[in-house]
Structure 1
Amino acid sequence: MRTPKILLLGPPGAGKGTQSSNLVETFGVEHVTTGDALRSNKEMDISDLGLAYDTPGEYMDRGELVPDEVVNAIVEEALTSADGFVLDGYPRNLEQAEELESMTDLDVIVSLSVGEEELVDRLTGRRVCAECGENYHVEFDKPEEAGVCDECGGELIQREDDTEEAVRNRLEVFAENTQPVIEYYSDRDAFVEINGEQSLDAVWADLEAAVEDELKR
């Protein structure tokens, strides 16, 4: 079986990170995310693009949004060097989706579908260790002692971007910018929608079967 090229779509809190890890382990692909790709290529020379700065790191160090053309170039570099991949967090808008068409051919395009209220519950319930960064959840992944990290004993906190107001804002941005990307792909033969509100095991079973089915075509 060839090494697949997979695009994983879904809103914040849909479980893309967890399922990407499963795909990496099962199918031997690389996990390509925009954040990781940017961090790995902070010093990439982009002076030929004629932008404000000559490296992605200069945007990142100033807390500024990295322009689409820079993100596109970095993602293309990451995909070109990978035999197979699961792409997570890109494309975030239609312009990036059109760029992706020119970079590579996708074997499977998966959308994890989860309702807004379920996403709010998942994201607002997340707690992070202030010391070591370990993640927990008040309902789905509780620490042995409430408010205390199992790994290092540090205090568990709610990040600012996990408050309900921040979460609903993130979901609104997703609906405005990235939901059209899902619709863009929805009529493709390689497109599969999976109910992301199932148990993690059930989502994975559907996802694994979808990838294997597409690879047999």
Structure 2
Amino acid sequence: MHFKVLNVEDLAAHFVMWEYAIAMVGYLMKVCPFDQPDVAVAKAEVLHILAEGACEPDFVQDGLAEVPIGKVEVHVSESLRDKVTEPSLDAVLRALFGSIEPGDYFSFNAFLPFAGEGRREAIEEIRHTVASHYDVASCLEIGPRYLHSTGQLHKGGPNKGVFLILSADEPKDIEIDDPRARSLGELAKAQALGDFTILSSRERRCVHVHLPDNSAVSIRALAKAFKKVVYA
């Protein structure tokens, strides 16, 4: 099936056509394409975290891979907790990667800015290291936008995902005029924790790591920690 889009009007027509097609296919499959239960449940959890506060991390680690970047918060899902032998990121990653089975995929869900300082390269290094060593499909998801697309598959689809959620404090945070969140950084952390909480409740294999800042130095230290575990 091939279409040639000649102008802006053609593009607008395609938007309407494919929206209609999706609605009709959903009707024939007895699926409501406008119903987003796993988006709604994640939003509700974020609002709960902003109102009541987040749960404490499983542990806080000082630095990564011998790099003194500051305090690193780590949350571990219920499905992995009994496999973690000690309160360290190395032990958590061993448990996470040790759970990978044929047919699984690795999803790196990053609530970080990608522009500048080599952040994207460091993040991609982590993803490719895991994908190539364990021979699994992998994807890099940008938070929070993935919550409205593949986030539904993560929560409602088959339990084939192995998830790392990464967030960080924002050194140049932006305040917002909302009583529920003081800044965009606070909101992003709540969204990352909300996604982690719902994934954990669905018995997904998931780890949330929160860095003290989103600099390339910190992300490269995380990549170094990953390589240490993967190639041990």
TM-score normalised to structure 1 length: 0.35
TM-score normalised to structure 2 length: 0.33
Give the structure with the larger strand fraction: 2
